[in-house]
Every structure is written in structure tokens, then in C-alpha cells.
């Protein structure tokens, strides 16, 4: 009996070992470890805020660009995958990278575009500048969903920092999104309205100034005046297969574009309702290598220092296209909208 039990136990251990080995083999490699986690002191309230930081060895002796990567709406800094694309790009191009927490998920008063969250991102940039040599003419920010919201908010709140901004499926008017989220509609969750109420201290009717203060559309005129290059990308099915109706992106484009290039509100409403673009607005421009058959371009608006691409997809972005755009921007110079001859991009779906 003892031998039988030992044999059974040994077989079980062997099975577990094989399963563990298989899991280890199939598990995606961790893009970075906790050794990149730093604590940045907030210059607003003195608290220590978690932030990911990486810089190439060369940044000790010569200036390098800096990319700020952001997490999504319901996430925080522990969702490392949200920062991985920016970090991997930085490692591949000898850029520095910071990934601030900006007060975590957007359900508390200091988060959700509040002054504390804004300052955390400024402090993260200054932390990098204090540790290594950063090219102040090449500081960029990128994010999707809640990260897209903060990207555009930072463009308006602190246009003096950025050489370029890339925002995917952004929330641009949080009061409007509160209403959007309460609708019985495929893809939208009413939990987002609750999160907004927790962050803002009430509904839009009860706290209109809080909602206005945390909305990119309130501030985006500052980015336009400063000439900050901005790239906005979203999928045409967002709002149906996703939680942020595409009108949020269209209205940000309109706020940044010259008047003659703006999309009429009635056309925006049609696109949101039908998930199709009227033929008069359909993209007929040159091939963009970052958008193929699966994520083809439905609409593209380019005006002043902004470009907006509406592609075949849902609540997602195209990080390779955004990073390529950022790589060509230099602070103080007009936006460079040159299309590369080579490139590969696809939809990166953004949850939470």
C-alpha cells in the first residue's frame, strides 16, 4: 500500500511539474520587472506615487527622447501590459520611458483628470529629467481609453511639455460620457457613470464644474494655440463594440481643426448611429502602411496640427501608427504628417 501511495504521489508531482513547465513555456514574457518601479513625490500633495521608469545607458551622457505611457480608465500601474508597448518602443529606439499611475482607476476624487492626476504626470516627466538627460524638444505622451482621455487632457493642461500626443478612443467630455454610459446600448456599461459620480462627487447636474474641469474639451484650445501635434485614432464600432462613442474623438478633432475642416454634428450623429461613414466623408487618400484590409481607414481628417483616423475596429487603437507619428514630431515645429513607405500596425483592443 505504501509503495502504491508513493507511486501515485510521484506521478501527481510529475504531472504538476510538467504542467508548470508547459505553463512557463507558453506564458508571455514579462516586459519588465519591479526593479523599474520608482516612487515619485507629488509636488501637489507630497504623497509618493508609483511610476515605471526606464532609460538607456546612453541617457547618462547624451539627451534622449522621452515617452510617457498611460494606463486605461479602470486600471492602475499594476496592469503592466498597458505600459509594455511604450516601454518596448523606448528600448528599441533608445528613448526613456515613464509610466505614471496618475492616481489609478478613475473612481476616486484625486483620479479621473483631477489636478492630482495631472500633476502626477508632470512630476513623472520631471523625475525622468532629473535622473537622465532628456531632450525637452522630444517629450511625447500616448494612451488609450482612459489613457486617451488623459493624453488629450494633458495636451490642453500642459501644452508647454509636449512635442506630440497620440490618443486612442479617448473620452473627451466626461459629462457626455456619463449620459452615454447610462443608455441601454450594446457595448456600454452603466458602471462607468457610477465611477464618474464617485470621482466627481455627484452627477453632472450636481457637480457641473467638476465634470467640466476633468474634460479634455475644456482645455484642448490651449494645445491648438500652442501648435502641439496630436494624433487621434478610434474604431468605427466603438460605442457598439466598446464603451466610448466615436463622437468623442470627432469633437476633439473639430476643436483642434481649422473651421473649414470640421465634421458637421449631424454627420457625427449619423456615423455613431449607423457605424458607417457618408460617402462624401469616406477616406479616399493615399495608402497608409499601418492600416490594411482588416483595419482599413473609414475616415481621416488632417488639419492644422491634428490628424484623426477612424478605422475598422472597436474600442481600440493603433500603437505602431501612433508611435511612428510621435517619432517625427519636434517641439516648436509644425506637425509632420508624412506617411512612411513601410510600417505594420493593427488594432490593439483596449478593455477596462
Instruction: Give me the residue spans of the domains in the chain.
Output: 1-30, 31-349
Residue 185 is predicted with a pLDDT of: 82
The CA-based dihedral angle spanning residues 193, 195, 198, 203, taken in that order and rounded to the nearest 10 degrees? -10
In whole angstroms, how far apart are CA 32 and each of 25, 35, 91, 224?
17, 8, 11, 35
Q: Which of 167, 145, 246 is nearest to 156 (CA)?
A: 167
Residue 46 C-alpha cell reads as 507630497
pTM: 0.90
Q: Which fold has domain 31-349?
A: Rossmann fold (3.40.50)
Q: Which of 255, 236, 228, 225 is nearest to 325 (CA)?
A: 228
Are 239 and 246 contacting, i.e. CB atoms less than 8 angstroms apart?
yes
DSSP H helices in 53-135: 81-93, 115-131
Question: 73 falls in which pLDDT band (50, 70, 90)?
Answer: very high
Q: What gap in Å lies between CA 183 and CA 177, rounded to an integer?
A: 10
CB atoms within 10 A of CB 30: 10
pLDDT tens readout for residues 74-110: 999 999 989 999 999 999 999 999 999 999 999 999 9
Contacts of 328 (CB under 8 A, 6+ apart): 336, 338
Calculate mean pLDDT across residues 225-250: 97
Amino acid at each position: 500500500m505504501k509503495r502504491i501511495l508513493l507511486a501515485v504521489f510521484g506521478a501527481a508531482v510529475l504531472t504538476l511539474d510538467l504542467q508548470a513547465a508547459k505553463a512557463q513555456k507558453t506564458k508571455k514574457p514579462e516586459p519588465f520587472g519591479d526593479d523599474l518601479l520608482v516612487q515619485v513625490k507629488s509636488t501637489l500633495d507630497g504623497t509618493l506615487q508609483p511610476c515605471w521608469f526606464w532609460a538607456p545607458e546612453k541617457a547618462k551622457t547624451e539627451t534622449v527622447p522621452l515617452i510617457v505611457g498611460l494606463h486605461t480608465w479602470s486600471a492602475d500601474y499594476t496592469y503592466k501590459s498597458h505600459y509594455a508597448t511604450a516601454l518596448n518602443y523606448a528600448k528599441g529606439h533608445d528613448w526613456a520611458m515613464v509610466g505614471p499611475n496618475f492616481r489609478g482607476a478613475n473612481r476616486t476624487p484625486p483620479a479621473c483628470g483631477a489636478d492630482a492626476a495631472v500633476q502626477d504626470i508632470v512630476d513623472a516627466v520631471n523625475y525622468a529629467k532629473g535622473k537622465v538627460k532628456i531632450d525637452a524638444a522630444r517629450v511625447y505622451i500616448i494612451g488609450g481609453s482612459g489613457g486617451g482621455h488623459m493624453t488629450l487632457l494633458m495636451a490642453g493642461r500642459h501644452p508647454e511639455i509636449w512635442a506630440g500626443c497620440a490618443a486612442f478612443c479617448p473620452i473627451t467630455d466626461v459629462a457626455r460620457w456619463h449620459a452615454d454610459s447610462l443608455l441601454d446600448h450594446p457595448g456600454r456599461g452603466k458602471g462607468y457613470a457610477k465611477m464618474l459620480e464617485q470621482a466627481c462627487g455627484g452627477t453632472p447636474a450636481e457637480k457641473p464644474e467638476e465634470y467640466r474641469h476633468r474634460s479634455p474639451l475644456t482645455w484642448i484650445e490651449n494645445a491648438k494655440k500652442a501648435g502641439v501635434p496630436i494624433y487621434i485614432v478610434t474604431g468605427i464600432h466603438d460605442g457598439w463594440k466598446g464603451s466610448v462613442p466615436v463622437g468623442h474623438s470627432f469633437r476633439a478633432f473639430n476643436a483642434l481643426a481649422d473651421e473649414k475642416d470640421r465634421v458637421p454634428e449631424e454627420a457625427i450623429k449619423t456615423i455613431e448611429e449607423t457605424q458607417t461613414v457618408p460617402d462624401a466623408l469616406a477616406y479616399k487618400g493615399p495608402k497608409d502602411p499601418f492600416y490594411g484590409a482588416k483595419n482599413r481607414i473609414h475616415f481621416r481628417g488632417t488639419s492644422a496640427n491634428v490628424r484623426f483616423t477612424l478605422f475598422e475596429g472597436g474600442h481600440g487603437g493603433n500603437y505602431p501608427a501612433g508611435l511612428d507619428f510621435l517619432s517625427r514630431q519636434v517641439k516648436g515645429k509644425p506637425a509632420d504628417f508624412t506617411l512612411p513607405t513601410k510600417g505594420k500596425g493593427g488594432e490593439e483592443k483596449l478593455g477596462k
